[in-house]
Amino acid sequence: MAEILVYVDHVDGAVRKPTLELLTLARRIGNPVAVALGNGAADTAAALAEHGAVKVLTADAPEFTEYLVVPKVDALQAAYEAVSPAAVLVPSSAEGKEIAARLAVRIGSGIITDAVDLEAGDEGPVATQSAFAASFSTKSRVSKGTPVITVKPNSAPVEAAPAAGAVEALAVTFGALATGTKVTGRTPRESTGRPELTEAAIVVSGGRGVNGAENFGIIEALADSLGAAVGASRAAVDAGWYPHSNQVGQTGKSVSPQLYIASGISGAIQHRAGMQTSKTIVAINKDAEAPIFDLVDYGVVGDLFDVVPQLTEEVKSRKG
Ligand SMILES: Cc1cc2nc3c(=O)[nH]c(=O)nc-3n(C[C@H](O)[C@H](O)[C@H](O)COP(=O)(O)OP(=O)(O)OC[C@H]3O[C@@H](n4cnc5c(N)ncnc54)[C@H](O)[C@@H]3O)c2cc1C
């Protein structure tokens, strides 16, 4: 069976969920070979083996942390040349998409970004993308070179499928461009204890209807009862009610959770662009004509200040 290169997103050896989802998809089209780079790369092996990696190629060097993405592209290209895979899968984060695009250019291959599903095809893997507020699904395959495909978080289940996961050191020679852009400082974001917005299985978002920073507490309370991340519309962010890093939409983050709850959000096309691929969409809005209701699986016409706290209490009581 052909080998499929899977780029590993991890934090100091802790593998992030979107990578485990990639392994599920990779197993549909071949044998996953994982590429883990940077501090703690070797520590990823157990989790990757547990989820189907037949081999784990690791490399660590100061270049991976001291410079932006090019050293990682050098390493992924080295892995590509060593393995000659049938496809390369990368998580669809901002960094992942840049790495994938640069690799595709270097190896002269076609690229598909933001896939939401992947299946084997006679002429190579076929990727599904979701377009125009999820009103269309498109299927495509790369017709030139080795397919490079980025996959959105929450596109596949995480499945245990134990494999050898043999660790091998990857030899990487950094090119002249690798040290072109140096990281000059890092400020860790204060942890909220909530899941990362783009990876969360559930997202609860608030919009202009929340009517003030002080009221976002009710959105956070619902999120916390569900173990969800908190999102916000641009109107709420621009008003200074919630941090820009939580904005969902065309000029914010793209999310694709199992469940998206929009409260006091009208459903402008630019907001939809960032949440249209959510599996189940629920909206709470006091205007029955709000465009968000065209998109939802479940809609509640009501005042969010009545509905959201009741929902939070109900969730808490059902959790016992
Ligand atoms: C280039 C460009 C990029 C953009 N990028 C983004 C983006 O990334 N993300 C984004 O979100 N927007 C983006 N926008 C802005 C977008 O067009 C909308 O203006 C914005 O999404 C509106 O936010 P909203 O739904 O919170 O506010 P509104 O459109 O004002 O809607 C508020 C809703 O809350 C409801 N409401 C009010 N009070 C209550 C209550 N008590 N209970 C229940 N419901 C209530 C109202 O009925 C209304 O439907 C962009 C716009 C442009 C031009």
20-29 tens-digit pLDDT:
999 999 999 9
User: In angstroms, what is the span from residue 283 Cα to ligand 1's centroid?
Assistant: 13
87 strand-pairing partners = 4
Q: What's the rounded Cα separation, in Å, for the pair 209 and 303?
A: 9
Please, where are the H alpha helices in 40-88? 45-50, 63-66, 70-83
pLDDT at residue 18, as a whole number: 95
User: In angstroms, what is the span from residue 314 Cα to ligand 1's centroid?
Assistant: 27
Q: What's the rounded Cα separation, in Å, for the pair 44 and 165?
A: 10
Q: What's the rounded Cα separation, in Å, for the pair 261 and 248?
A: 12
Beta strands in the chain (DSSP E): 3-7, 10-11, 14-15, 31-37, 55-59, 87-91, 111-115, 117-119, 126-131, 136-140, 148-151, 166-169, 202-206, 229-232, 259-263, 280-285, 298-301
Residue 189 pLDDT > 80, yes or no?
no
User: In angstroms, what is the span from residue 262 Cα to ligand 1's centroid?
Assistant: 10
Is there a contact between 117 and 89 (Cβ–Cβ < 8 Å)?
A: no
Residue 136 pLDDT > 70, yes or no?
yes
Q: What's the rounded Cα separation, in Å, for the pair 74 and 72?
A: 5
Q: What's the rounded Cα separation, in Å, for the pair 217 and 273?
A: 25
Tell the residue nearest (CA) to atom 23 of ligand 1.
235
Over residues 224-253, the mean pLDDT reads: 96
* pLDDT grade for 134, boundaries at 50, 70 and 90: low
Q: Residue 102 corresponds to which tokens in the numbers above?
A: 């640069």
Tell the residue nearest (CA) to atom 28 of ligand 1.
266
Q: What's the rounded Cα separation, in Å, for the pair 100 and 264?
A: 36
User: In angstroms, what is the span from residue 264 Cα to ligand 1's centroid?
Assistant: 8
Tell the residue nearest (CA) to atom 4 of ligand 1.
270
Residue 250 Cβ < 6 Å to ligand 1 = yes
Mutate to test the pocket of ligand 1, among 210, 242, 270 (most ligand atoms within 8 A of CB): 270
Is there a contact between 231 and 198 (Cβ–Cβ < 8 Å)?
A: no
Residue 272 Cβ < 6 Å to ligand 1 = no
Tell the residue nearest (CA) to atom 41 of ligand 1.
303
* pLDDT grade for 34, boundaries at 50, 70 and 90: very high
* pLDDT grade for 121, boundaries at 50, 70 and 90: very high
Sign for the pseudo-dihedral over CA of 182, 188, 189, 193: positive
User: In angstroms, what is the span from residue 263 Cα to ligand 1's centroid?
Assistant: 10
Averaged pLDDT of the chain:
96
pLDDT at residue 116, as a whole number: 94
Task: Please enumerate in sequence order all residues whose Cβ is within 8 A of that of 45, keeping only pairs 6 or more positions apart, or say none.
Answer: 36, 53, 56, 58, 165, 167
- The one-letter code for the residue type at 227 is G
Over residues 180-190, the mean pLDDT reads: 91
pLDDT tens track for 276-304: 889 999 999 999 999 999 999 999 999 99
Residue 274 Cβ < 6 Å to ligand 1 = yes
Residue 239 Cβ < 6 Å to ligand 1 = no
User: In angstroms, what is the span from residue 266 Cα to ligand 1's centroid?
Assistant: 5
Q: What's the rounded Cα separation, in Å, for the pair 26 and 212?
A: 45
Mutate to test the pocket of ligand 1, among 246, 254, 271 (most ligand atoms within 8 A of CB): 271
- The one-letter code for the residue type at 278 is S
Between CA 217 and CA 126, with CA 275 as vertex, the angle to 5 degrees is 150
pLDDT at residue 303, as a whole number: 98
Tell me 221's DSSP state: H
Residue 258 Cβ < 6 Å to ligand 1 = no
Over residues 40-58, the mean pLDDT reads: 98
Q: What's the rounded Cα separation, in Å, for the pair 277 and 208?
A: 22
Q: What's the rounded Cα separation, in Å, for the pair 230 and 9?
A: 22
pLDDT tens track for 239-270: 999 999 999 999 999 999 999 999 999 999 99
Q: What are phi and psi of 308, to 5 degrees?
A: -65, -45
Residue 245 Cβ < 6 Å to ligand 1 = no
Residue 133 pLDDT > 70, yes or no?
no
User: In angstroms, what is the span from residue 268 Cα to ligand 1's centroid?
Assistant: 6
Task: Give percent of the chain with pLDDT exceeding 90.
Answer: 93
Residue 268 Cβ < 6 Å to ligand 1 = yes
Residue 66 Cβ < 6 Å to ligand 1 = no
pLDDT at residue 319, as a whole number: 85
Residue 303 alpha carbon, nearest atom of ligand 1: 42
Q: Residue 52 corresponds to which tokens in the numbers above?
A: 């189907």
Over residues 220-234, the mean pLDDT reads: 98
Report the predicted TM-score, pTM, of the whole model to 2 decimal places.
0.81
3-state SS assignment for residue 258: coil
Over residues 170-193, the mean pLDDT reads: 92
> Which of 54, 137, 155 has its CA nearest to residue 96?
155
Is there a contact between 137 and 130 (Cβ–Cβ < 8 Å)?
A: yes
